[in-house]
Amino acid sequence: MSEQCHTMGLVIRAKREKDVILTLLTPEMGKMTVIAKGARSLKGPQMAMSQPFCYGDFELYKKGDLYWLRTGELKENFYGVTSRLDALNLAAYFCDVAIAVSEPGEPCEELLRLLLNSLYFLANKTYPDELIKGVFEWRVLAMQGLSPAVHRCCGCGKVQDGGFALDIAQGELFCGECRAKREVLGDGLRIDDDAPRHEWVLLSQGALEAIRFAISTPLGKMMSFRLDDETGRYDLSRAGEKFVRYHLDVDSAALKMYEQMRGK
């Protein structure tokens, strides 16, 4: 006898084979694998609910250890995301990160809210893409307890300097003077007597303030700041990307496509 259930969820991956294998991000049951039977014969609600970035109310039934899609009610498809190739790749990267940090059976309401908000901003071009990307990355890191020590220089305690650099591996911030004292070796690498090489990322003051804001402010206010400087947005995004790659081990093909389109 099959067990039926309802859940709100977002399709963060859709793999089409004989059937469509969906990965859903749900608030109470975390990451779920759901099968939509018959990829080529799907129609009506099943078709609408089997597309990437679709958010809605899923009616499922469980047979054995597997969940199957019966039907559902679409709430949002974030059409604006799929109409821009760069936004599409960026949205897919966000989903790759969500897959990496979520677990089956573990509630992830905050992560789902963050992802939905970020997709909404992308779809509606509410903010520059680099700003949305950077804030998403730093919020995810904060949720995972991986926020770096960025509120002051870890060497001398300075809060403002204009020459800050973030050690990606150690998650430590140093001003220009303290960084110079720690034997900086060209191209952003440092050699310490008792540590392997570490990668540095230089941060403008605007980017640093944005990181501080993104990791500490409530989710509902995460975009309540201004960063009009294009260099600052690039620094924010680049540092977040490097931190995510190093600490969450996310290697996203979608991100590589996004960067190629942006000429990075």
Same domain flag for 104 and 167: yes
User: Among 76, 91, 114, which residue terminates a domain?
Assistant: 76
Say what the pLDDT of residue 199 is: 83
Say what the pLDDT of residue 68 is: 94
Say what the pLDDT of residue 16 is: 86
Same domain flag for 66 and 90: no
Instruction: Kindly report the CATH number assigned to the domain that includes residue 39.
Output: 2.40.50.140
Place of tokens 């990791």: 215
Q: Which of 186, 185, 156 is nearest to 172 (CA)?
A: 156
Say what the pLDDT of residue 167 is: 93
User: Among 76, 97, 117, which residue terminates a domain?
Assistant: 76
Say what the pLDDT of residue 197 is: 58
Same domain flag for 13 and 117: no
Which of the 8 DSSP states describes residue 221?
A: G
Same domain flag for 89 and 181: yes
Which of the 8 DSSP states describes residue 217?
A: S
Same domain flag for 99 and 85: yes
Containing domain of residue 8, as a range? 3-76
Integer Cα distance of 54 and 181 in angstroms: 51
* Full pLDDT tens readout for the chain, 264 residues: 468 889 999 999 999 888 899 999 999 999 999 999 876 666 666 788 889 999 999 999 998 889 999 989 999 999 999 999 999 999 999 999 999 999 999 999 999 999 999 999 999 999 999 999 999 999 999 999 999 999 999 989 988 876 899 999 999 999 988 888 875 544 444 444 444 456 889 999 999 999 999 999 999 999 999 899 999 999 999 999 999 999 999 999 999 999 998 876
Same domain flag for 131 and 204: yes
Say what the pLDDT of residue 194 is: 46
User: Among 76, 105, 126, which residue terminates a domain?
Assistant: 76
What is the residue-wise DSSP string for 15-29? Answer: EESSSEEEEEEETTT
Q: What is the pLDDT of residues 119-158, one digit of tens each?
A: 999 999 999 999 999 999 999 999 999 999 999 999 899 8
Q: How far is CA 39 from CA 3, 50, 71, in A?
A: 22, 9, 14
Instruction: Kindly report the CATH number assigned to the domain that includes residue 167.
Output: 1.20.1440.120
Q: In the chain, which residue ranges form alpha helices assigned H by DSSP?
A: 44-48, 79-82, 85-101, 109-124, 129-143, 176-181, 205-216, 230-248, 253-262
Same domain flag for 61 and 142: no
Indicate the number of domains in the chain. Answer: 2
Q: What is the end-to-end Cα distance of the chain in Å, rounded?
A: 54
Same domain flag for 137 and 94: yes
CB-based contact 125:150 (threshold 8 Å): no
Same domain flag for 65 and 196: no
CB-based contact 49:79 (threshold 8 Å): no
Same domain flag for 123 and 57: no
Say what the pLDDT of residue 40 is: 61
Say what the pLDDT of residue 42 is: 61
Same domain flag for 45 and 169: no
Same domain flag for 121 and 68: no
